[in-house]
Structure 1
Amino acid sequence: MIRHLVLFKLNEGVDRDDPRVQKGYEAFRALPGKIDEIRHWELGWNFSDRPIAYDFAINSAFEDTDALRRYVEHPEHQAGVALWREFATWVIADYEF
């Protein structure tokens, strides 16, 4: 299994009530019903106020690297990424477990 972690940082001046953010959140929240390769999916807003904290996280899992690749390339995932690109940056970590 492959764990795919993504941590998002909202751009300066953008908060989670921004309509663009809400649209991006809904796009990613809906992915498990649209992409068969997803085996585990959870997401949420960070409540930590530490200066090094990111704002939002996705914790997901896939059977193997091919399934992860298909997910990354899937048009629904790419549409969500395009939304988030407008108001956030992110880092990822992919590892076997």
Structure 2
Amino acid sequence: MEEDYQHILTIISAMSHVFERSPASFAHLGEEDLRQHLLLPLNGHYPGQATGETFNAGGKSDILIRTEDRNIFIAECKIWGGEKKANDAIAEL
């Protein structure tokens, strides 16, 4: 499970570098559209298992990867708006 988790983080990190290297292609996109761009490579590695805005337990997860009926990765996506907004988002969780 730890190996899957690290692999998923590597995929997301690689995609974040794509965002940074081509800012004009992504600057106009909102949180949901950027999430969709993260789900593309994740579903390439975990076919049909990476979903967005998925109901899970008592709420929704922005990114959820489920393998063999167990969650192996859950993420909340936010656009950086400074430290205060990041702390507020963490407090919501």
Regarding TM over 0.5, the answer is: no
Q: TM-score, normalised by structure 2?
A: 0.36
Larger helix percent? 2
Q: TM-score, normalised by structure 1?
A: 0.35
* Bigger relative contact order, structure 1 or 2 (CA pairs below 8 A, ≥6 apart): 1
